[in-house]
Amino acid sequence: MFNFFRKNKVRVRIAPSPTGYLHIGTARTALFNLLFAKKMGGKFILRIEDTDLERSEKRFEEDIIQSLKWLGLDWDEGPYRQSERLDIYEKYLIKLLKDKKAYYCKCRKEDLEKERELQTKLGEPLKYSGKCADQNISPDQASLIRFKINAAQVVFKDLIRGEINFDSALIGDIAIAKNLRTPLYNFAVVIDDYEMKISHVIRGEDHIANTPKQILLQQALGFPEPKYAHLPLILDPDRSKMSKRFSATSIQEYREQGYLPEALVNFMALLGWHPSDDKEKMDIDEITIKFEIDRIQKGGAVFDVKKLDWLNSEYLRGEDNAILLKSIKELYGKELGGLNDEVLFKMLTVGKARISKLRDFLDLKASFDLLEYSLDLLIWKDTDKKIILENLKKSREILRTVLNTKFNKEDLEKELMPMADTRGRGAVLWPLRAALSGKDKSPGPFELMDVLGKDETLKRIELAIQKLEFGGKN
C-alpha cells in the first residue's frame, strides 16, 4: 500500500472548528494525520474551519494552535482560515448554480420540520423533498443554496474499513450554503481539499455519513476523489460515547493536570492503533517508524485513564527534576506556599516515584505539612505506649548528634537503622513517620527528615513525645 502512495504526493490536513477548545479526539486525529504524512514523506496542513461566524471565537483558535504546538504536532502549511477564502467558495457556488447542479431554496425551518414529521409518520427516509428545485427563486427570496443529488450508489474504499456503499437516493438535496458568501461544511471542505491538493482525508468515523455527500460534490465539480480513512471513535472506560469526565476533556486541562506532552502523544497513538510488537512506551519518532495505517482498528478505542497515568509516570521518572520543578512552579506557583526551590527540589526527589502527574506534587507537598493528629496514630499495632515513647526519645537523642551536613536520607538510615533492627522496625519507624507527618500515609521517615531538615524534624518529634507524655493513657 505504501509503495503506491509514495508515487503520489501525500498531503493531509487537520481542520478543527474554533467553536471550542481542542479536545483529545481532534488532537488524536491531528496526530494520526501527522504520523501518516511523516511516514509517507508528505505534508501536514492546518486549516481553521471558521465559517460558523456565530460560534467561532478567536480564543478557541488560539487554544487550538497553542495546544497543537505544546503537543509537538507541528504543521508544514497554515493555518489557513476559511473566513479568508470566501471569494473561492463563491466562485464554485456560482458554477454549480450556472450548471443547474445547485439551486436556491426558500423553505423555512418550520416548513422543513413539518416535512420531516410527515416523513416520520409515513415511515419514509428523512430527507429534503426537493420541492424548490424547479422553482425560479431569486437570491433575495432564498434561505439556502441546495445541491441536487441524483439517485445513485456511492462506493468508496476506506483505508481502514474497506469498501463502503451508500444509496444517494436516501440522502436528498443537501444544503451547501446560506448564500454566496456563507458556505456550509460539506461544501467548503470539498473546495478546500481540492484547492489544497489534499490526497488523503483521515478523520473520525462520525464523518462517514458526510463522505458520500462530499464525493457527489467532487464529481459534480470534476474534482479528483481523495483517499479516505475513518478513525474509530474514542470510548469511555464503560465503552459508552466519550464524555467530559475523561476523553472529551480539553488538551489544556490535561496540561493543567500535569500530564507531559510526550506521554499524551504516546497515549493518543494507542487509541485505536498498536504496533506489531505491541510495545506501549514510545516517543513520536519510534511511533512514526512503526506506524502503519492498516493497523488502525475498526472498533472503538477505549480511553483508559489508568494507562495514561502509568505512561505519564514513566515519562516523569525519566525527566530531569530541575525541568519538572520548573513546570510545577509555572503551573502551581501560587499553591506552593512560598517554599524555596531547595525544599521543593528535595520533595520532588524523594516523592517522584509516588506521583503520576505533576498536580500530584501538591498532594506530595501536603504530606510534609504537619496537621493535628490523634495520639493513637503514634502507636504501632499493639505495642505498649511506654515503648513507643522510649523509642521516640532514643531517636531524638541519636538525631541530635547528626550534623546538619549529614542530615540526609542515606546518612540518617545509617544512624537509625541499627536501633530499628534491634528494637523492631515497626515499633521504631512507624511512630517516627507518624510524628513527622501526622498522617497514616506519607513518604517514609528518612525521606521526610531529608526534606524537613534537622530543626523541624526535632521539633515534630518533641511534639509527639509531649503528646505521649501528656495525652493520657493508651
**Which positions are catalytic?**
244
Say if residues 197 and 72 touch (Cβ distance below 8 Å): no
Cell of 217: 460534490
Q: Which residue intervals of 143-283 are DSSP H helices?
A: 185-195, 211-221, 251-257, 261-269
d(C-alpha 84, C-alpha 4), whole Å: 35
Quote the CA–CA distance of 345 and 322 in Å, as a whole number.
Answer: 7
Residue 251 Cα distances to 8, 65, 236, 261, angstroms: 34, 11, 16, 10
Going by C-alpha positions, the residue among 1, 233, 216 that lies closest to residue 96 is: 216
- Residue given cell 501527522 in the structure block: 34
Half-sphere exposure of 14 (CA within 13 A, CB side): 26
Q: Whole-angstrom Cα distance, residue 236 to residue 227?
A: 29
**C-alpha–C-alpha distance, residues 108 and 137, integer Å:** 14
Burial class, 419, CB count within 10 angstroms (exposed 0-12 / middle 13-18 / buried 19+): middle
The secondary element (H helix, E strand) that includes residue 182 is strand 182-183
What's the per-residue H, E or C state across 197-236?
A: CCCEEEEEHHHHHHHHHHHHHHHHHCCCCCEEEEECCEEC
Among candidate residues 284, 152, 306, 159, the one with its CA nearest the CA of residue 227: 159
Q: Collapsing DSSP states into helix, strand and coil, what is residue 14? A: strand
Give the Cα separation of 472 and 474 in Å (integer): 7
Tell the burial category of 4 from Cβ atoms under 10 Å away from its Cβ (0-12, 13-18, 19+).
Answer: exposed
| Cα 390–Cα 375–Cα 465 angle in degrees, nearest 5 | 35
Torsion on CA atoms 239, 243, 247, 252, rounded to nearest 10: 180
Cα separation values, 207 from 16, 156, 438, Å: 13, 14, 55
